[in-house]
A and B are shown apart, each in its own frame.
Chain A
Amino acid sequence: MIPRLTDRVASATERTIEVLDGHEIVREGEAGEEMYLVQSGAVTISKRVDGREVVLGEVGPGDFFGEMSLLESLPREATARANGTTRLLVLGPGALLVRLRRDPSLAVEMLHRLSGRLRRLNARLGTDADFTDDMGLGA
Chain B
Amino acid sequence: MKLEVEVDQLLIISDLHLGNPASQAAANLPALLDEVLTPDWTLCINGDAVDLTQGTVTGIARDLRPVVKRLRDFSRAGGRLLYAIGNHDLVFEHFLTELPFEVAPFFNVRCGDHRIRVEHGHAYEPTYARYPGLYELGGRMAKPLLVAHADVYRLWSTTQRAVDRWRRGSGEYPHHVAADALFERGFDVAVFGHTHLPEVTEREGGTFVNCGDWLRDTTLVRVTAAGVSLERLVETEDGLAVQRFAGRRA
Contacts and interface: CB of A to CB of B under 8 A. Distances in A.
Nearest to A16: B184
Interface in B179-203: 181-182, 184-188
Contacts of A103: 178, 181-182, 185
B212 to A, nearest CB: 22
A16 to B, nearest CB: 8
Given A39-B185, A40-B186, A89-B184, A108 B105 contact: yes
B75 to A, nearest CB: 24
Interface string B1-29: 10100000000000000000000000000
Interface in A23-61: 37-40, 60-61
A62 B181 contact: no
Nearest to A61: B186
**Chain A contact surface mostly:** mixed
Interface string A107-129: 01100100000000000000000
A62 B3 contact: no
B115 A62 contact: yes
B119 interface: yes
Contacts of B187: 61-62
A105 B186 contact: no
Interface residues of A, number: 20
Contact of A102 (B106, B117, B177, B186): B177
A37 B3 contact: no
Interface string A82-110: 00000001000000000100111110110
Nearest to A37: B185
Given A62-B187, A105-B106, A109-B108, 5 more contacts: A39-B185, A62-B117, A64-B185, A103-B185, A105-B117
Interface of B: 1, 3, 105-106, 108, 115, 117, 119, 123, 177-178, 181-182, 184-188
